Amino acid sequence: MENHEYKGQIKQKVYKDKQSNYLNMNPGNPKGLPDESFHFQNTIGFIDEAFLSKLAKHFGKGKYIKFDRYSFAENIAKKQRLKCEHIFLYTAPPFQSPKPTKEEEKKREGYDKFIYKLKEKGIQVKEGRCQRLKIDGKFEYYQKAVDVLLAMDLTNVSFKFPKIKKIILISSDSDFVPVIKNLSENSVKTILYTYYEKGRKAFFSTSNELIKSVHKYVLITKEDFTNATLDKGEIGK
């Protein structure tokens, strides 16, 4: 592992590893190659909000860390010597009954404010839907169509943004592997920002298949959240 610092740029750690067949390899280029970027390039950030939100709660030890999604994406892009041309975020609104309860209405109101602020910052939000199922007498909630929307947009990168040669994907879902491989065949490299823990009972995991499919992967840290502070007017909202 080496430290590099370019003139006027952020010091960052560059990971290299000779092994590429196992998940416990160090973050970096799975093939052990150094990053060839020496000048800032435009990129597109794709955010799986459910994964990122879950991770914010994990690092906050059960309490969500409040952070600015736009700054988060910009900061991690800068570490890769990239600049976000577009940021897409994928989520689903909270479940609403045919006759919403007060609690459901309150959740929807908070969600609408959240989405409004994201769009105000220039983030393009893609929404699926929330499905409620009753299992063993308890309600459980699942997002539907969100991954499909993300996969569709990833597939269209080469056609809609032909000048983009590297993208940033914030996720841990191995369902995106075929799309990532297709992007690679079209000369678009995927930098994966993800998180996993070792051990059979690990709360977070990322498949070997996903790790090996990308050009490079980086583990998200708590500092990535705390360094993306909200504006004073947004704190507490």
Give me the number of domains the chain comprises. 1
Mean pLDDT of the chain: 85
In a domain, 161, yes or no: yes
In a domain, 13, yes or no: no
Structure confidence by residue, pLDDT tens digits, 77-132 = 999 999 999 999 999 999 999 999 999 999 999 999 999 999 999 999 999 988 88
CA distances from 235 to 68, 101, 106 (A): 10, 27, 19
In a domain, 196, yes or no: yes
In a domain, 21, yes or no: no
In a domain, 237, yes or no: no
Orientation angle between helical segments 146-155 and 177-185, nearest 10 degrees: 10
**Residue 197 structural domain:** 41-229
In a domain, 185, yes or no: yes
20-34, 82-96, 100-114, 157-171: the lowest-pLDDT one? 20-34
146 vs 175: CA distance, rounded Å: 12
In a domain, 1, yes or no: no
- Residue 144 is predicted with a pLDDT of 84
Q: How confident is the model at residue 4 (pLDDT cuts 50, 70, 90)?
A: very low
Q: What is the CATH number of the domain that holds 213?
A: 3.40.50.1010
Q: How confident is the model at residue 205 (pLDDT cuts 50, 70, 90)?
A: confident
In a domain, 167, yes or no: yes
Local structure of residue 88 (DSSP, 8 states): E
Please state the pTM of the whole predicted model.
0.82
**Among 131, 215, 204, 142, residue whose Cα is nearest residue 173:** 204
- Amino acid type, 159: F
11 vs 132: CA distance, rounded Å: 46
